[in-house]
C-alpha cells in the first residue's frame, strides 16, 4: 500500500483517510485549521452515502448520531400552503450535524494521523512520489508521499496549482445561510418553503434541534451583513409557522453565510500522483443535497481501487473512470434542479402538486441507487 498524504481534513478528506487506513494504507492528513471539530450545520445523507459509510465501517455510528427524515418531500409556499406533503414512499435521508459526522470519521482513524495548523501551499512531483510544502505557525515544512489526495475543498490550492486555467470556482448567483437551533422545538414536518428567489428548508436533528437553511438570489458574491440572523429574519421572518419560531430559537452567532460556488466540469481528476476528491474535484450546487455524499462515495472508490490495482497509476485511472461520469452527472443534475426551481418556478410548483409519488421517488432514485465497492 502506498504512503498517502491527504490534503484537507473535511468530510471528504477524513472519509478518504478512513478508507485508506481500512485497506492497510499508511495515511496522514494535513488540515489548515488550528483545531478540528465543531464547524458546520446540518447535512442530509442519502442512502448512497450511508452504504458508503457502511463500507468505511462507520455506518452504524453515524446512524446513531442522526435522525431519519425526508428531504425534498414536503414543499410549501411562504403563506404555509402545502404544495406537497411528504409521502410514506418518499426516500428517507439521515439528518446529522456535520460536526457529529466529522467526529465519527475522526474517531475511526488511528490516533495521530491528522496534523492541524498545516496549510498546504504547493506540491511537486518527484521521481518516485510527491513533495508537499505546507505552512505552520512555526514556519514552512516539507514532507514526501507516494500519493497525494487533494480534498481541500472548492477553493483547492492543489487544484489551482496543478489544474491552472479554467478551474476557478464559479459564483452561481445565490447565497446560503445555515444554522442549527439552540433550543428544542415542537416537531415540525420537514419542508422546503419556496418562492422564486428564495427557498427556506427545515429539517430535524437529534435532540429536537432543527437545522435550517435559506438560499437566495444574490447579484454579487461577498456581500455580508453585520447581523446575519437579522438579515434572514428580514427576508423570511414573516413566512409561515414554524419559521419565525425556528429563527427565534437560533443564536445570532450560529448562522453561517456562504456564497454558493460550483466548479465547471474538469477533464480529469488525476495529475500524476495527485488526485482530487470531494468538492476539490466536483463542487456542485446544494440543490440535490449530494455534495458530501459524493465525497464519501469518492473515498470508498479510491480506497477500493488502490486495494485492487497493482500500481498507483492503474488505481487512479480506475478511480477516475468510476467517479468522473457519476459526479459530473450529479453536478449537472443539481444545476438543472436549481434552474428549474428558478426559471420555471410556476411549472415546477405545478409539477410538485401533480407528480405521483412513484414518479417523484423514481427521479430521486436515479441518484441515490448506488452501491459502493466492497472494501473487505
Q: Which residues bind ligand FAD (CB under 6 A)?
A: 7-13, 30-33, 43-44, 119-120, 151-153, 157, 176, 178, 213, 258, 260, 278-280, 286, 289-293, 295
Which CB, 162 or 295, lies closer to ligand FAD?
A: 295
Q: In Å, what is the CA distance from 302 to each residue of 12, 25, 146?
A: 11, 12, 15
Which CB, 338 or 358, lies closer to ligand FAD?
A: 338
Which CB, 257 or 309, lies closer to ligand FAD?
A: 257
- Least Å distance, CB 108 to ligand FAD, is 15
- Least Å distance, CB 87 to ligand FAD, is 20
- Least Å distance, CB 44 to ligand FAD, is 4
Which CB, 27 or 260, lies closer to ligand FAD?
A: 260
- Least Å distance, CB 9 to ligand FAD, is 5
CB of 32 closer than 8 Å to CB of 50 = no
Rounded to 5°, the CA angle 93-96-97 comes to 150
- Least Å distance, CB 113 to ligand FAD, is 14
Torsion of CA 189, 260, 283, 95, to 10 degrees: -20
Residue of 229, 190, 244 lying closest to 42 (CA atoms): 190
- Least Å distance, CB 292 to ligand FAD, is 3
Dist. CA 91–CA 46, nearest whole Å = 8
How many Cβ atoms sit within 10 Å of the Cβ of residue 140?
Answer: 11
- Least Å distance, CB 263 to ligand FAD, is 11
Q: Which three cell numbers stand for residue 177?
A: 445561510
- Least Å distance, CB 368 to ligand FAD, is 11
Which CB, 36 or 230, lies closer to ligand FAD?
A: 36
Which CB, 95 or 312, lies closer to ligand FAD?
A: 95
Which CB, 309 or 337, lies closer to ligand FAD?
A: 337
- Least Å distance, CB 123 to ligand FAD, is 10
Q: Which residue has the cell 409539477?
A: 351
Which CB, 61 or 161, lies closer to ligand FAD?
A: 161
Which CB, 127 or 201, lies closer to ligand FAD?
A: 201
Which CB, 311 or 339, lies closer to ligand FAD?
A: 339
- Least Å distance, CB 359 to ligand FAD, is 23
CB of 113 closer than 8 Å to CB of 29 = yes
Amino acid at each position: 500500500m502506498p504512503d498517502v498524504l491527504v490534503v484537507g481534513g473535511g468530510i471528504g478528506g477524513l472519509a478518504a483517510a478512513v478508507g485508506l487506513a481500512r485497506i492497510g494504507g499508511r495515511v496522514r492528513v494535513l488540515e489548515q485549521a488550528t483545531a478540528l471539530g465543531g464547524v458546520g450545520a446540518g447535512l442530509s445523507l442519502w442512502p448512497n452515502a450511508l452504504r458508503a459509510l457502511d463500507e468505511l465501517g462507520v455506518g452504524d455510528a453515524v446512524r446513531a448520531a442522526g435522525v431519519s427524515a425526508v428531504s425534498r418531500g414536503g414543499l410549501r409556499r411562504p403563506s404555509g400552503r402545502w404544495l406537497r406533503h411528504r409521502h410514506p414512499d418518499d426516500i428517507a435521508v439521515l439528518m446529522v450535524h456535520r460536526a457529529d459526522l466529522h467526529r465519527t470519521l475522526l474517531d475511526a482513524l488511528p490516533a495521530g494521523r491528522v496534523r492541524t495548523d498545516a496549510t498546504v501551499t504547493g506540491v511537486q512531483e518527484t521521481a518516485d512520489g510527491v513533495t508537499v510544502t505546507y505552512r505552520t505557525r512555526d514556519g514552512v515544512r516539507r514532507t514526501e508521499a507516494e500519493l497525494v489526495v487533494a480534498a481541500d475543498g472548492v477553493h483547492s490550492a492543489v487544484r489551482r496549482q496543478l489544474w491552472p486555467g479554467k478551474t476557478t470556482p464559479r459564483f452561481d448567483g445565490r447565497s446560503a445561510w445555515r444554522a442549527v437551533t439552540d433550543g428544542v422545538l415542537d416537531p415540525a414536518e420537514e419542508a422546503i418553503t419556496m418562492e422564486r428567489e428564495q427557498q427556506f428548508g427545515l429539517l430535524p436533528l437529534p435532540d429536537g434541534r432543527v437545522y435550517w437553511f435559506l438560499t437566495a438570489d444574490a447579484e454579487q458574491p461577498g456581500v455580508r451583513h453585520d447581523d446575519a440572523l437579522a438579515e434572514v429574519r428580514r427576508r423570511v421572518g414573516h413566512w409561515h409557522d414554524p419559521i419565525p419560531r425556528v429563527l427565534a430559537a437560533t443564536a445570532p452567532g450560529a448562522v453561517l453565510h456562504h456564497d454558493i460556488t460550483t466548479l465547471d466540469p474538469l477533464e480529469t481528476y488525476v495529475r500524476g500522483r495527485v488526485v482530487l476528491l470531494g468538492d476539490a474535484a466536483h463542487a456542485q450546487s446544494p440543490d440535490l443535497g449530494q455534495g458530501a455524499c459524493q465525497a464519501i462515495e469518492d473515498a470508498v472508490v479510491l480506497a477500493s481501487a488502490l486495494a485492487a490495482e497493482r500500481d498507483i497509476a492503474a488505481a487512479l485511472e480506475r478511480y477516475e473512470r468510476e467517479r468522473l461520469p457519476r459526479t459530473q452527472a450529479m453536478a449537472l443534475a443539481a444545476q438543472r434542479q436549481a434552474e428549474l426551481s428558478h426559471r420555471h418556478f410556476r411549472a415546477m410548483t405545478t409539477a410538485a402538486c401533480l407528480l405521483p409519488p412513484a414518479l417523484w421517488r423514481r427521479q430521486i432514485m436515479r441518484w441515490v441507487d448506488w452501491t459502493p465497492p466492497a472494501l473487505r
